[in-house]
Amino acid sequence: METNSSSLRDREEKLSPVKLHAAQYAIVVILVVLVSGLWNLQVLGAENYKAAAEANRIRKVPVLAPRGRIFDREGRLIVDNYPSTSCYLLREQVKAGDIPVIAAGLHLTVDQIQATLKHFQTAPKYQPIPLKQDITPDEQAFIEAHKNELPELDTIDEQRRLYPRDGFAAHLVGYVGEVSEQMLANDPRYAAYDPGQVVGRSGVEQTYDALLRGEDGYREVIVNSHGKEVGKLGQKLAVPGQDLRLSIDLDIQRAAEQALEGKNGAIVAMDPHTGEIIAMASRPTFDPNQFSVRLTQSYWSSILNNPNHPLLNKAIQAQLAPGSTFKIIMSVAGLQENVAQDLKVNCQGGASFYGHFYGCDRHHGGVNINTAIPYSCDTFYYTLAYKLGIDKIAQYGREMGIGQKTGIDLPEEAAGIMPSEQWKMKNYHQKWFAGETISVGIGQGAVTATPLQLLRALSGIASGGVLRWPHVLLPGQVPAEMQNAVRDTFPGSGEKTIPLSTENWQLITDAMANVTSSPIGTAYPAHLEGIDFAGKTGTADVVSGRQKGSKNKDTLPNAWFVGMTPRRNPDFAVAVLWEHGYWGNNSARLAAQVIDAYVEKQRAKDHNLRTVEAVKTPEAAPEKAAVPVVPAGQ
């Protein structure tokens, strides 16, 4: 007994108090870790695990909102939607062996499916992803017939964009497409989007995407362990996008498209009183319907490899020498500076400045400001540029918006160039040479402009110096704050009034009328009987020296024309750029087609209105012309 007691005392002496406390603390720490883990698992993480469990049982099926339709100013449909069915893939149920079967049934390649899976790899696994859009009836039948073997395939009904055929108004309305990884990574505007969502990618579709796209909804359905739908829980209805009415007139748009058919260039028409764009066409064009489903590589390659750049909206993006259309801006500068009134030159086919001879197309003889515009005499404007100097020319050019964006509510507008001494030093670190001023005086050299810039400038001059903000959306359709946001997104030179004396205004507009109505005018072949039609031609060289008779089309000059009706305070103005169209009077004929379509439509409206008045009242109001004719000199 004594021996046992002794052994027990030995063991107690061997277990020191320090070791005992350490063991106790270790046990406490282990218990704390276990309790903490259980707390995180059962309390803090309960919602996450509940959500994961729900995701295994409940599936959200997207209900896509139809985009708003697009109408012209008279409420005629331009862009519509059509019913379509797309195939979606439920990735949590995909088995590797199913992919070749799916590819064969949907007429895809295995690589295409793998690329789609990679594209959406960051999206939640339980979220259905679009596999193929706008599937055919036989592909729908394949999915239906293989529901049990391929539960990962599902179909969703949606509304898809339907654009006019033959690229009609394509650059204006734009197109839609999926949000790309590059857009998500580099453009903060798309931060709230998910991969695969459809957004406006150009034109009106892009500018007003927030209004047009609406808000997607969803259906909550109950699925079993095989992914088969066995019940419904609820839904959130999709909110359709807002319909929009543009300022475009389909009849005038059609006339512009027809005039430009088979040519490269642009036609843009505007109401100078409001800045509303009435028509905008660019050639070559493209088919936006090709972009509303998954774009084929062959079509995309044909677009990219086309040297005439079909995706370029030349009405607002072509930056080219304006040629003699710039002489109207020169005339304003010369008259307002009291230089042009008494300037007379004797044109003998050109003149020499700074030791260099600058040619003119003809021997015009004695020329003053009244005949310089209809003659389009280079010699007169060489001399005027010599007297004004480049900085004074640049001052008036900038005031009229040359070298600045107009701020039109369309993406990717170009600014053009209004050169000056400061501009050349800043961009090229070189001094301005006096001889360069002579070329700028006739719209050549470093000066470049877009058709819309020239349209706004020249129609603004014809409106007494009032330049409006060009826009394609009729007012009153968006909240004021969004309208301000659009203007902030597309800044321009804004609405402004250029001081222009009545005498100078009348002189310039009468001279522009003589361009089309007088036999001495460069656009006389395009004159329209009974219509007060004014304007200015431009023939802009694209190489050094005009190659007359050249068979190389790429060396022929660009043909410009900006015209309006009536000559003063015009109701309608149009600018035409015909790339390599040679003489400006060729573009004047195209403009005349558009002007004539506008006038005939206005006269038809006026006639219909008076017919109604004749029925309502005993005596009809007297007939009057829809477009007043202002005799020259008044």
Q: Which residue has the higher pLDDT, 590 or 133?
A: 590
Residues belonging to the chain: 634
167 contacts 285 by C-beta, under 8 angstroms: yes
Sheet holding 229-236, edge to edge: 58-63, 217-223, 229-236
pTM of the predicted model as reported, rounded to 2 decimal places: 0.82
pLDDT at 441 over 60: yes
pLDDT, one tens digit per residue, over 547-583 is 545 556 778 999 999 999 999 999 999 999 999 999 9
pLDDT, one tens digit per residue, over 139-170 is 999 988 888 888 888 888 888 899 999 999 99
Sheet holding 572-578, edge to edge: 276-283, 265-271, 572-578, 558-565, 534-540
Residue 511, token pair as written in the block: 């001279």
The rounded distance, in Å, linking the Cα atoms of 141 and 130 is 18
- Helix (H) or strand (E) holding 475, with range, is none
| DSSP string of 46-102, one letter each residue | HHHHHHHHHHHHEEEEEEPPPPPPEE-TTS-EEEEEEEEEEEEE-GGG--TTHHHHH
User: What backbone torsions phi and psi does residue 270 show, to the nearest 5 degrees?
Assistant: -145, 155
pLDDT value at residue 252:
97
Strand locations in 248-338, DSSP E?
Answer: 265-271, 276-283
Name the percent of the chain lying above pLDDT 70. 85
Strand locations in 117-168, DSSP E?
Answer: 129-132, 153-162
The rounded distance, in Å, linking the Cα atoms of 300 and 297 is 5
Residue 119, token pair as written in the block: 């594209």
Whether 324 is catalytic: yes
pLDDT at 534 over 90: yes
List the catalytic residue out of 84, 282, 324, 420.
Answer: 324
The rounded distance, in Å, linking the Cα atoms of 25 and 31 is 10
Buried b (16+ CB within 10 A) or exposed e, 492-509: bbeeeebebeeebbbbbb
- Helix (H) or strand (E) holding 576, with range, is strand 572-578
Average pLDDT over residues 110-130: 81
pLDDT, one tens digit per residue, over 468-509 is 999 999 999 988 888 888 888 899 888 999 999 999 999 999
pLDDT value at residue 127:
74
Amino acid at 364: H
Q: Give the pLDDT band (50/70/90) at residue 95.
A: confident
CA 20 to each of CA 7, 182, 363: distance values in angstroms, whole numbers, following the listed order: 19, 63, 118
Average pLDDT over residues 598-607: 89
The rounded distance, in Å, linking the Cα atoms of 480 and 384 is 45
Which residues contact residue 70 at a Cβ distance below 8 angstroms, ignoring those fewer than 6 apart?
77, 78, 79, 173, 204, 212, 243, 244, 246
The rounded distance, in Å, linking the Cα atoms of 89 and 23 is 56
